[in-house]
Structures are given as structure tokens and as C-alpha cells.
Amino acid sequence: MNFSELVSRPHRRFNPLTREWVLVSPYRSERPWQGQVENVPVEAAAAYDPNCYLCPGNARAGGLTNPAYTEAFVFDNDFAALQPDTPAGEVEEKGLLVARSEAGRCRVVCFSPRHDLTMARMSLPELRRVVDTWAEEFLELGSLPNIRSVQVFENRGAMMGCSNPHPHGQIWANQTLPNELAQEQASLGDYYRSHAATLLGDYLALELEKQERVVWVNEHFILLVPYWAVWPFETLLVSRRCLSALHELNDEERDALADILRQTTVRYDNLFKTSFPYTMGFHQRPTDGEAHPEFHLHAHFYPPLLRSATVRKFMVGYEMLAMPQRDITAETAAQWLREVPARHYLDL
Ligand SMILES: [Zn+2]
Ligand SMILES: [Zn+2]
């Protein structure tokens, strides 16, 4: 059976990063297109909101005041989930009741002083400054003695539970590898040892040859819908050069990353003509002091929208009890993302 025969019927696809499977039921997307592209009215958000704790010059919880910042601005989260001075400790009972203390740091990165912008509508120099800030933070937090992983992420949109529209992301630095990074790290390491090549390098070569799931490329980065995508419009953003962390990007590559971040978010916004919600984040090498030749810098975008600006996918039922499932194939999703205009719909 060839690929197109197999994938026209229900099938499972393997995710080599997490070593988990996703169920794909392509026939269900042959149902007539019920979702409509809605013009959801954009909130007339002002460039400055006096009640926003992220806007320049405003007071934050805990009595601190933001400076009158003019570009990406970083500060320690006032309600940090991890704290640097957590004392070491461990309890264990019969291997069933296990707990260990976890030290770390949580930072907040305001992408822009403008309350009303998103990555899709920021200028390239502003986005480049965000890339530089992420890189500086990885280097600084990753060099702390008890920090082994640095997670850069953005949670965007009320649908994702993000309470403040001000463009911002977070950086959590942990004493141990969190689950997702630990799983990927194990897969990347095993592949590197058995193939003497990186998993993502080999995967990129395959995708570039097939051109079925590639959405957009520039000189230094590739955006694609991964073969094993779970979320309807999930994408993977990978650097062409195999490097293991953001701070290793050279000047040109940082500009290229700013460019493809904007291209990615513009395409998302254009798909349903809405400010597209998502969780995105970069996976970078563990900061345990070891060299990690197996690690290949990449970012995941996990957007929840399914058929329109208001219809979202829920991970419930079979997905909570068994395995994730999707209707439209990764190939179809990539095609839709390729076909939308490259210019933001609000700028047309
Ligand atoms: Zn604000
Ligand atoms: Zn990853």
C-alpha cells in the first residue's frame, strides 16, 4: 500500500520526538466545510492601557513599577511558579508517594511597549530585539549553577487562558528537565547515537524533498506542519543549520528568525481573519554543561482553532482516555496555511 492509499483511510502516525502516536481520520474532513471565515471584530485596543500591569510606566503587583521601556523588556514574574531559593528536599514512601523540591526562576518578556500589537503586527527590528532578548536570557539563566533547562514560551489569546492581550511571553528555568524536553531529549540522543546524524536534520531533509507539509521557508528557517501534528494547524519551526540554542544564532539567522516568526503569525491570523490564539515555545538544549550535538533548535506552535475563528478543537473523550485524534491531515493543513496571503489582512 502506498502513502496516499494508506493516508486516505484512518491511520496512526508516529511522533519520533515524543514516541507517541496520533490517530488521523481523514475521511471526516470530507464532510462539507461547515466552518466559515468570520470577520471577528478586532477589539479596538489602545496602544496604551492605564490598567495593564505590562504597559510602560504602570504599577505591577508587589509595588514595582515598569520603566518607560521602548523595546523588549524582561522582569522577574511577580507570581513566580518557581523560586531560586527553594531548599533541596525529597520525600518518598514505598515508591508510590514521591515528591522532590524544585528550584528555578520565572521571567516575563514584554515583546513591545505597544499594548495593541502582536508578533504578527510588530516590525522586524522589534521582533529581532525579542529574539536577542530570548537568546540573552537563555545564556544568563542557563549559566546559573542549578538550572538545567530554560523554556521560552508564549501563551496567546483568551481562548488559551491568557488574561492580558499585551504582547508578552514567559521564560521558566528549571532545576530538572521538564517532561516534554526530557522525552524529546531521549529520542534525539538515541537517534544521534544510532544514526550518527540528528533526527531533526534528517527529518528536515525528507520534508524539503517531499514538499507536502512545508508552509514557508527563508534562508535560515523552515516552517512546516509536522507529519505527526495533533492540533489542526500545529506547526514546527526549525533552523536549517543544526544548532542547539538561540544564542548560537548569528546576526543573519536572528533576522531570519524574526522574519519567519512574523510570517508564521501573519499566516495564522489570515487563515480565519482573527488574532489567532496559540501556545508556542522553543525547545533548546539542556543547560547541564554538556555538549549536545544531537540537539537541533526548534519551536512548536500549538493553536487550538479548528474550523473558524470561534470553533476550537477540544482534547476530550477518546483523546483524554486513549490517544489524540485529528480529522484534516497535516498535508491539508499545510496547504491551507500556504495558500493564505503573506500580508496581514488588517494591513491590506
Ligand atoms: Zn499593556
Ligand atoms: Zn520540541
Give 173: exposed, middle or buried? Use CB within 10 Å, 0-12, 13-18, 19+. Answer: buried
What is the average pLDDT across 16-42?
A: 70
Percent of the chain clearing pLDDT 90 (strictly above): 86
Tally Cβ neighbours within 10 Å of residue 211: 11
Q: How far is CA 173 from CA 43, 62, 140, 228, 253, in A?
A: 34, 22, 10, 28, 24
The pLDDT value given to residue 62:
79
Band (202; pLDDT cuts 50, 70, 90): very high
What is the average pLDDT across 177-187?
A: 97
Closest CA to 106 of 91, 86, 90: 86
Band (42; pLDDT cuts 50, 70, 90): low
The pLDDT value given to residue 61:
81
Is the pLDDT assigned to residue 36 strictly greater than 50? no
Closest CA to 120 of 332, 345, 295: 345
**Per-chain residues with Cβ under 5 A from ion ligand 1:** 49, 52, 54-55, 115, 166
Give the Å distance between the CA of 75 and the centre of ligand 1: 14
Q: Which ligand is located closest to the Cα atom of residue 167? A: 1
Backbone angle region of 128, left / alpha / beta, with phi > 0 → left and psi within -120 to 50 → alpha: alpha
State how far the Cα of 131 lies from the Cα of 322, in Å rounded to an integer: 38
Give the Å distance between the CA of 246 and the centre of ligand 2: 14
What is the average pLDDT across 87-95?
A: 95
Give the Å distance between the CA of 160 and the centre of ligand 1: 18
Closest CA to 145 of 27, 253, 289: 289
Q: Which ligand is located closest to the Cα atom of residue 301? A: 2
Is residue 156 within 8 A of residue 280, CB to CB? The reply is yes
Is the pLDDT assigned to residue 34 strictly greater than 60? no
> Which pTM was predicted?
0.95
Give tens-digit pLDDT for 303-325.
Answer: 999 988 888 899 999 999 999 99
Farthest CA pair distance, the chain: 65
**Amino acid at site 181:** L
As given in the structure block, the three cell numbers for residue 146 are 542549578
> 234: Cβ–Cβ under 8 A, 6 or more apart, which residues?
225, 226, 300, 301, 302, 303, 333
Q: Which ligand is located closest to the Cα atom of residue 52? A: 1
> Of 115, 168, 296, 300, which residue is the catalytic one?
168
Strands 20-24 and 325-326: parallel
Give tens-digit pLDDT for 285-303.
Answer: 999 999 999 999 999 999 9
Give the Å distance between the CA of 66 and the centre of ligand 2: 33
Give the Å distance between the CA of 289 and the centre of ligand 2: 20
Give the Å distance between the CA of 103 and the centre of ligand 2: 23
The pLDDT value given to residue 28:
63
Concatenating the DSSP letter of every residue in 219-273 gives SSEEEE--TT--STT-EEEEESS--SSGGG--HHHHHHHHHHHHHHHHHHHHHHT
**Torsion over CA: 319, 323, 328, 331 (sign):** positive
The pLDDT value given to residue 281:
98
As given in the structure block, the three cell numbers for residue 128 are 529581532
Mean pLDDT (the chain, rounded): 93
Tally Cβ neighbours within 10 Å of residue 33: 10
Give the Å distance between the CA of 274 and the centre of ligand 1: 20
Give the Å distance between the CA of 116 and the centre of ligand 1: 7
The pLDDT value given to residue 76:
96
Give the phi and the psi of residue 56 in degrees, each rounded to 5: -60, 140
Q: Which ligand is located closest to the Cα atom of residue 60? A: 1
State how far the Cα of 175 lies from the Cα of 302, in Å rounded to an integer: 25
Is residue 130 within 8 A of residue 72, CB to CB? The reply is yes
Q: Which ligand is located closest to the Cα atom of residue 298? A: 2
168 is catalytic: yes
